[in-house]
Amino acid sequence: MLLEAREITKAFGSFKAVDAASVTLEPGDILGLIGPNGAGKSTFFNCLTGDLQTTSGQVLFEGHDITRATPEARARLGLARTFQVPQTFEGMTVLENVMIGAFLRSSHRAEAESKARAVLARVGMERLADAPARALGTPGRKRLEIARALATEPKVLLLDEAMAGLTLREVQLAIDLVRDIHRSGVTLVIVEHIMEVIMSLASRVMVFHQGREIARGNPREVTSNPAVIAAYLGSRAAAKVAAGHTPIELMGGSET
């Protein structure tokens, strides 16, 4: 097992944003975390990455307890993440941004640069290497964020809404990129609102509602689960499903 969360609870004051959530991640998985706004996905995700300290529960990576480990220590073990709002270093070039990731494993500048260039080629951004990062639009920044994470040579990559704000065509290109990353041997956890992304990528899905896990299974199973439909859309949606609309349509995606 690569990553395991055991009974994670995260409270803000007396409010439990995540309440006793557990999950296991096996090598080769693409785990999707879904749920309506405010369900606790990002909080759970941030407990896995170390950006938030858990109130209780344990996080294990390859059997080691990393519950109190910093995000940097987790990255060194092979756990990388992207941020929903790209953390771009505006004053640097695209290449230099990716080198920040590469420096995790390489102390020599030339080596970090050559790794960063290889990653840029892999994500199709080699021609932008010397462009200032501030010149990139949303798709470029999202891709740069993935490139910087890849440069740390992760075993597990956690993507936080990596496709938000992209056009349909850009989403398709990003899905292709994630497939390619997965084929190269990286295990993935994705938080994503765009249902098409979950339907086309996730091998397993965990559904949150009000801080708790309400369903898990493959994408088809969870999106036809009445509890999931009700959590997303309220009970009126159940009537629409009964009237012939597909659950995925109602959750904001089209059938694939």
Ligand X SMILES: Nc1ncnc2c1ncn2[C@@H]1O[C@H](COP(=O)(O)OP(=O)(O)OP(=O)(O)O)[C@@H](O)[C@H]1O
Residues at the contact surface with ligand X, assessed by CB under 6 A: 12, 17, 35, 37-43, 208
Cβ closest to ligand X, residue 120 vs residue 163: 163
Cβ closest to ligand X, residue 33 vs residue 147: 33
Q: Report the alpha-carbon distance of residue 120 to residue 148 in Å, rounded.
A: 9
* Least gap, CB of 76 to ligand X (angstroms): 26
* Least gap, CB of 241 to ligand X (angstroms): 22
* Least gap, CB of 44 to ligand X (angstroms): 7
* Least gap, CB of 14 to ligand X (angstroms): 11
Q: Note the helical H segments in 138-242.
A: 138-150, 168-183, 195-201, 219-223, 226-233, 235-242
Cβ closest to ligand X, residue 61 vs residue 232: 232
Residues 191-203 as b or e (16 or more Cβ within 10 Å = b):
bbbbbbbbbbbbe
Residues 34-56 as b or e (16 or more Cβ within 10 Å = b):
bbbeebbbbbbbbbbbbbbebee
Cβ closest to ligand X, residue 41 vs residue 148: 41
Cβ closest to ligand X, residue 102 vs residue 162: 162
Q: Which residues contact 189 (CB under 8 A, 6 or more apart)?
A: 3, 25, 30, 31, 33, 45, 48, 156, 157, 158, 159
* Least gap, CB of 121 to ligand X (angstroms): 32
